[in-house]
Chains A and B, each alone.
Chain A
Amino acid sequence: AVQMTQSPSSLSASVGDRVTITCRTSQDIRNHLGWYQEKPGKAPQLLIYDASGLQSGVPVRFSGSGSGTNFTLTISSLQPEDFATYYCLQDYTYPRFTFGPGTKVEIK
Chain B
Amino acid sequence: EVQLLESGGTLVQPGGSLTLSCAASRFTFSAYAMTWVRQAPAKGLEWVSTIGDDGSLTHYADSVKGRFTISRDNSKNMVYLHIKSLRGDDTAVYYCAKPMGVAGLNWFESWGKGTLVTVSS
Binding site for B on A (CB under 8 A): 1, 34, 36, 38, 43-44, 46, 49-50, 55, 87, 89, 91, 94-102
Contact = CB atoms under 8 A, between A and B. Distances in A.
Most buried by A among B33, B44, B113: B44
B104 to A, nearest CB: 9
Contacts of A101: 44
A46 B44 contact: no
Interface residues of B, number: 24
A102 B45 contact: yes
B48 to A, nearest CB: 10
A44 B57 CA distance: 25
Contacts, number: 57
A94 B45 contact: no
B50 interface: yes
A44 B62 CA distance: 23
A62 B105 CA distance: 19
- Shortest beta-carbon contacts, A-B, top 9: A43-B111, A97-B47, A99-B45, A49-B107, A95-B50, A102-B44, A95-B59, A91-B106, A34-B107
Nearest to A43: B111
A65 B50 CA distance: 27
Nearest to A49: B107
A43 B47 contact: no
Given A87-B45, A99-B45, 6 more contacts: A46-B100, A55-B107, A89-B47, A94-B106, A95-B59, A96-B50
B108 interface: yes
A98 B108 contact: no
10 contacts: A43-B113, A44-B108, A44-B111, A46-B109, A55-B109, A87-B44, A95-B33, A96-B61, A97-B106, A102-B45
